[in-house]
Structure 1
Amino acid sequence: MRIWHGGDLDEARRLFPQAPEPWIDLSTGINPIAYPVPLLPASLFERLPSPADHRDLEAAAREAYGANDAAMVVAAPGTQVLISLIPHLRSRSRVAILGPTYAEHAYAWRNAGHDVDEVPSPDRLDSANVAVVVNPNNPDGRLLDRETLLRLAEHLRPQGGWLVVDEAFADFDAGECLVPVLPANAVVLRSFGKTYGLAGLRIGFAVAPEPIAARLRSALGPWAVSGPALEAGRKALRDREWLEATRADRTVDARRLDALLSSVSDATLRGTILYRLLESSSAGRLFRALGEHGIWVRRFQYSPHLLRFGLPRDEAEWRRLEAVLTRFSLS
């Protein structure tokens, strides 16, 4: 079964061939205001990246995420690669995934031959050899506190179990991040592209105890991250002033989006700063109304009543979205 993802404007144009261009893509949960990438020297495109530059990117990530040692940080060409790779580091295991959540986790573990159970409650995670939690959760923003995760890791440890925590959207909702207190049997995934609006660079990180980190590095091989991505990534990760200002700006945007969506939602809006989840019995009609006006939002295979909205990029996009929502709420 094909897993639906955000950002597929080819599918949007197939479904709504008469929609006006340009499309507004609100389907991804990626920061719409990207970090200003500095002018990169041509040499970064002409030579293989150096091991020193790779290590410096991991050092920048250690500083940004609060890891105890840069040796625990593994840079990869996107978090998705790590999601697919980690299941191959274990023999066949019982895997519990707190869901519903990002579908690639279950797919990756099943594809690697593990027995996977998607569970609706944290209380059912401790019966497995591996527990997988997306925190904050995609798409509803559910957040498990740090103490709950630490207790779960401790429960799994005597049997050689792992806790895998995907913190892809944690940069702007960072209160319960596990990295600074990482247990010896936990792996945390962090995304770069979502926060910094640079998904095309394909940078992601695993933060893990050194034995697991070493196995991940070996599996990724040399030159896992391109030279231009290394340079842009380490500059962005060290720009704390930009991150704090952007967190404040996107928080204002999320509140503005809530105000717009409240008129068409049947329930309290959920999510994170970078996306909001709407639940409505009219979600199917709203999806079509938006699509016909060139606005693409995220729908879900497991529920026809949910739509996820990312943040508009500029005032023109805000006005287009508001016009469609106002028209729909009056219909």
Structure 2
Amino acid sequence: MLEHGGNLSAAVTRYGIPLENWLDLSTGINPNHYPIADIPPHQWHQLPNDEDGLVNIAANYYGCQSLLPTSGSQAALQALPNLRSLGTIAMLKPMYQEHAHAWQRCGHQVLSFNDLNDEHILNKADVVLLCNPNNPTGKQFPAQALLSLHAKLASRGGWLVVDEAFMDATPEHSIAQHSHVEGLFVLRSLGKFFGLAGARVGFMLAADEQLKKLQESLGPWTLTGPSRFIAKQALQDTAWQENTRITLKSSSKRLETLLSQYDLKPTAGTALFQYVMTAQAQVLQERLAAKGIWVRLFKEQPALRFGLPNDSGWQLLEDALKSL
């Protein structure tokens, strides 16, 4: 199992601080999640209904022609490598490691590339994997650059897989509307922007034929009834979405300013996190943890990722930064 943010149980054991006393900034999840209405009892009693309108609602939200609901984007990215014969996979570095793990586990060769100018790697690839915006660095790729890369890959039967887990705050930069073309796969979920990671709601956006193969691989009832119920509400609540985009942008700027004030100027960020490259990353993570603040550590290219604090967490974070 790979290490992920949100692994507070390990921090509790190591530092001896009770779970309820931690400020968890390690996940990049919206601290103010979408409000969950009362779930009708029949949602727990009956099998999930695939004809409940969720697919159309989600397609309208993402602006795409076809998609498949999955148990978080994790389920989709794990199944995807089985839909291709063994080949060479190029993955952005650094990036969310579950992608590489899934392809390697199925026997594919995974190579790393740093940016879209690394043509000596990209030209070898049967499949290219990247996150946009990237997780954890926050790097963003222009839609046209990604579509150009896809065209090159598709001309030789290749695929482009784009994980847009952090795209909801800036939907104008998404390539979801192009996902119906052959060889393009876009992953989305309700975990980050909507703050509903526990509902495990994700979507694969792709051409119909590929979605049929993925559905066969995943089997029936990929989402629970309650999760489908919540997802439909969240995806249709445009007022909440618009307000949240404004709030997250403001909060992210506030976090950038706060970190910079204490000599931790972010290299980049998104509406949901700030990424700080520093040679002192491990030392700083330990010092913050000793004060009950859990941030995501990246060791290979030393860096810290800071998610957004909740309302009561801002002062806790600033107090901790002052004493580093």
In the superposition, the TM-score normalised over structure 1's length comes to: 0.93
d(CA) in 1 for partners of 2:104, 2:247: 39
Deviations 1:233-291 (A, max 9, x none): 01100111101100101111111111111134455431211011112233222212211
**Contact map agreement 2:282 2:299 (CA 8 A) in 1:** no
Report SS of the residue matched to 2:3: coil
One-letter code aligned to 1:196: F
User: 1:109 — aligned with what?
Assistant: 103
> Aligned-pair distance for 1:73?
0.5
d(CA) in 2 for partners of 1:227, 1:21: 30
d(CA) in 1 for partners of 2:318, 2:267: 17
For the pair 1:210 / 2:208, whether they are aligned, the reply is: yes
d(CA) in 2 for partners of 1:32, 1:318: 12
For the pair 1:153 / 2:150, whether they are aligned, the reply is: yes
For the pair 1:93 / 2:92, whether they are aligned, the reply is: no
User: 1:7 — aligned with what?
Assistant: 6
User: 1:135 — aligned with what?
Assistant: 132
Report SS of the residue matched to 1:172: coil
Aligned residues: 320
Q: How does 1:262-281 map to 2 (within 5 A)?
A: 262-265=260-263, 267-281=265-279
Aligned CA-pair RMSD: 1.5
**Contact map agreement 1:4 1:301 (CA 8 A) in 2:** no
d(CA) in 1 for partners of 2:145, 2:68: 25
Aligned residue among 304, 309, 314 for 1:307: 304
Q: How does 1:58-97 map to 2 (within 5 A)?
A: 58-67=55-64, 69=65, 72-97=66-91
- Give the gaps of 5 or more residues in structure 1: none
Deviations 1:93-112 (A, max 9, x none): 11101111001111111001
**Contact map agreement 1:266 1:281 (CA 8 A) in 2:** no
In the superposition, the TM-score normalised over structure 2's length comes to: 0.95
Q: How does 1:1-331 map to 2 (within 5 A)?
A: 2-18=1-17, 21-53=20-52, 56-67=53-64, 69=65, 72-124=66-118, 125-182=122-179, 183-265=181-263, 267-303=265-301, 305-314=302-311, 316-328=312-324
**Contact map agreement 1:32 1:312 (CA 8 A) in 2:** yes
Larger displacement relative to structure 2 (197-206 or 44-53): 44-53
d(CA) in 2 for partners of 1:45, 1:271: 39
Report SS of the residue matched to 1:194: coil
Report SS of the residue matched to 2:182: coil
Deviations 1:149-196 (A, max 9, x none): 111111111221111010010001223211112332100000112111
Percent identity, please: 38
Larger displacement relative to structure 2 (73-82 or 16-25): 16-25
One-letter code aligned to 1:75: P
Report SS of the residue matched to 2:51: helix
